[in-house]
């Protein structure tokens, strides 16, 4: 019996079975905690009412509007970050002068927590999607820049020399040699940045009050709609998984060699 | 000759680094000085506000509470993450059972957990510590468990042959092999910890750097706000620097490092 259980994780269906068992256990625990009075049911309702609430929320347009706002803010911010990050990454990766000129500034700005700029975004844009976009772009641009930079640096020297001796211009070398070889790195950057984008967007909505899941969560909390609050949090988690799967899949498509060979492959 | 050339080259690059950075700061100074927007404060005023506020009047009242919260939450996350990670890593069955639940919990955007934490535990300092610990433990847990699972079986077999077991096995064989992965997770968690610290202080606190910055914005004290943003920037920079130093010390023997930057 134990031997059979131990064989389960080796197959895909076995893993799924075990995973489903885990989910069932977690949901049961979640339901039992308030039912048995371990926690106050008003503060932490059980799994059944929360998932029921999520089900009915999914039928309202307000819910989908909030999801759309969050995704739009995160998406536009991410797009800006990708454009800027890739551009500066290519610049700093291919020009020694640019690398040395910008390195100290980038090294300083990179670890700056993007949420520190929330008050600035509020002052500049108030509670609007622009705040989301600004904060997401700032939060994501550094990952994209650094990944692109490493990707451009990791280009096959022989390929680059060949392109040079065939008389390709600098712009063509970037376009046909350096950028394509940096793609797997950029895809890894995208996966990491997409997670950051969602976190920052929800955080900005929560604090600054622009429309989206974050605002809906804090609204639900302030009016005491506890079930709705938890349902929205579950929804945001599901959204997180969807984004992760999407960009994780994208990364796999560009995976030329083993993941662990690349910077930032850790989770 | 070539060494001379090399050092001159290096000096040239250093000059470029310092010069270009000074130029960027100068341009920023000029821009903030001439910009009329109410959201922008002249860099000189910001630095004055920074000196007045953070050297060292508000250090005890705001910086210390922030750092204490962060240290406690992050520390708890490391302990939980490493311990549970070891458990999951050494049992494929447990890992498979936990996988979907863990990946769901860590996919929840960190700050979304603040409102329920406030409902459950109130707005005291413990709430922030608990949320930081809860959110930061997942990357550490996942990386630790990956590291344990990928332990080199030849190495483990060799250790067994040499009779290394128990505490010695953990201390001399397993922990050093998993340490790079643990640090990779800790690095991811560090930025999440800072994010949560700032956010939690903005929405539910009566002190702390995040609280200060947010209050300054609410009162349109733009100089103070930017001074706080600057401090948060320096904090993020400093903590990352410190982390890098510790990581290099602990992983000194590890040539490849953890592969991250």
Rounded distance between C-alpha atoms, residue B176 and residue B170, angstroms: 8
Given this model, what pLDDT does residue A44 score? Answer: 86
CB within 8 Å of chain B, chain A residues 172-211: 198-203, 206-207
All residues of chain A having their beta carbon less than 8 Å from the beta carbon of residue B202 are 115, 118-119, 207
Structural domains of chain A, with CATH? 67-266 (1.10.3720.10)
pLDDT per residue as tens digits for the range B5-20: 556 678 888 888 888 8
Chain B residue numbers touching A233 (CB-CB < 8 A): 108, 112-113, 116
pLDDT value at residue A1: 59
Summarize pLDDT for A199-245 with one digit per residue, the tens. 999 999 998 888 999 999 999 988 988 999 999 999 999 999 999 99
Q: How far apart are CA A163 and CA A194, in angstroms?
A: 33
* Chain Cα centroid distance, residue A118: 18
Cross-chain Cβ contact A111/B114 below 8 Å = no
CB contact under 8 A, A266 and B188: yes
A263, pLDDT greater than 70: no
pLDDT tens-digit series, residues A15-61: 889 999 999 999 999 999 888 888 887 888 988 899 999 999 988 98
Query: How many beta-carbon contacts under 8 Å exist across A and B?
Result: 211
CA distance B139 to chain A (A): 6
Cβ atoms within 10 Å, residue B10:
10
Residues 6 or more apart whose Cβ sits within 8 Å of residue B61: B207
Question: pLDDT at position A266, please?
Answer: 54
Task: Tokens 């109130």: give the residue.
Answer: B122
Whole-complex ipTM: 0.83
Residue B185 to residue A105, Cβ atoms within 8 A: no
Please name the residue of chain A whose CA is at the shortest distance from the CA of residue B28.
Answer: A105
The C-alpha angle with vertex B39 and arms to B34 and B40, in degrees rounded to 5, equals 30
Does the pLDDT at position B39 exceed 60? yes
Q: Closest Cα of chain B to A195: distance in Å?
A: 8
- Helices and strands: H and E segment counts in chain A: 12, 0
Dist. CA A61–CA B110, nearest whole Å? 25
Band (pLDDT 50/70/90 cuts) for residue B254 is: low
Q: Which residues of A touch B220 (CB under 8 A)?
A: 123
Q: Do A241 and B214 touch (CB under 8 A)?
A: no
């Amino acid at each position: 019996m134990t031997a059979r259980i131990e064989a389960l994780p080796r197959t895909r269906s076995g893993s799924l079975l075990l995973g489903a068992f885990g989910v069932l256990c977690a949901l049961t625990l979640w339901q039992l905690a308030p039912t048995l009075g371990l926690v106050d049911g008003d503060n932490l309702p059980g799994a059944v009412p929360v998932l029921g609430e999520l089900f009915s929320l999914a039928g309202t347009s307000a819910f989908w509007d909030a999801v759309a706002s969050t995704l739009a803010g995160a998406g536009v911010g991410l797009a800006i970050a990708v454009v800027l990050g890739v551009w500066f990454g290519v610049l700093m990766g291919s020009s020694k002068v640019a690398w040395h000129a910008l390195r100290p500034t980038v090294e300083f700005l990179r670890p700056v927590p993007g949420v520190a700029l929330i008050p600035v975004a509020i002052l500049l844009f108030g509670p609007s999607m622009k705040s989301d976009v600004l904060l997401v772009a700032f939060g994501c641009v550094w990952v994209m820049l650094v990944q692109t930079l490493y990707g451009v640096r990791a280009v096959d020297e022989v390929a680059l020399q060949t392109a040079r001796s065939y008389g390709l211009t600098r712009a063509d070398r970037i376009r046909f040699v350096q950028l394509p070889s940096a793609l797997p790195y950029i895809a890894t950057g995208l996966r990491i940045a997409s997670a950051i984008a969602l976190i920052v967007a929800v955080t900005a909505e929560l604090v600054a009050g622009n429309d989206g899941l974050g605002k809906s969560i804090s609204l639900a909390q302030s009016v005491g709609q506890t079930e709705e609050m938890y349902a929205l949090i579950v929804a945001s988690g599901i959204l997180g998984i969807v984004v992760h799967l999407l960009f994780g899949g994208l990364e796999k498509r560009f995976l030329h060699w083993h993941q662990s060979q690349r910077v930032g492959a850790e989770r | 000759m070539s060494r001379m050339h090399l050092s001159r080259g290096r000096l040239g690059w250093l000059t470029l680094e310092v010069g270009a950075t000074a130029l960027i700061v100068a341009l920023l100074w000029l821009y903030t000085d001439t910009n009329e927007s109410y959201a922008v404060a002249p860099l000189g005023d910001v630095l004055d506000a920074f000196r007045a506020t953070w050297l060292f009047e508000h250090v005890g009242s705001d910086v210390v509470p922030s750092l204490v919260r962060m240290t406690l939450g992050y520390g708890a996350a490391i302990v939980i993450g490493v311990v549970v990670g070891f458990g999951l890593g050494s049992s494929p069955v447990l890992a498979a059972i936990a996988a979907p639940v863990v990946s769901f919990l860590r996919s929840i955007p960190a700050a979304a957990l603040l409102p329920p934490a406030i409902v459950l535990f109130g707005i005291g300092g413990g709430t922030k510590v608990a949320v930081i610990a809860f959110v930061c433990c997942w990357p550490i847990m996942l990386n630790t468990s990956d590291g344990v699972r990928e332990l080199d079986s030849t190495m483990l077999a060799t250790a067994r042959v040499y009779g290394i077991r128990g505490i010695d096995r953990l201390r001399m064989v397993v922990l050093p092999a998993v340490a790079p992965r643990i640090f990779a997770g800790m690095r991811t968690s560090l930025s999440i910890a800072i994010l949560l610290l700032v956010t939690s202080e903005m929405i539910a606190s009566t002190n702390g750097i995040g609280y200060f910055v947010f209050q300054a914005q609410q009162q349109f004290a733009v100089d103070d706000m930017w001074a706080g943003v600057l401090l948060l920037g320096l904090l993020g920079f400093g903590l990352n620097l410190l982390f890098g130093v510790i990581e290099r010390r602990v992983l000194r023997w590890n040539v490849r490092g953890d592969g991250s930057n």
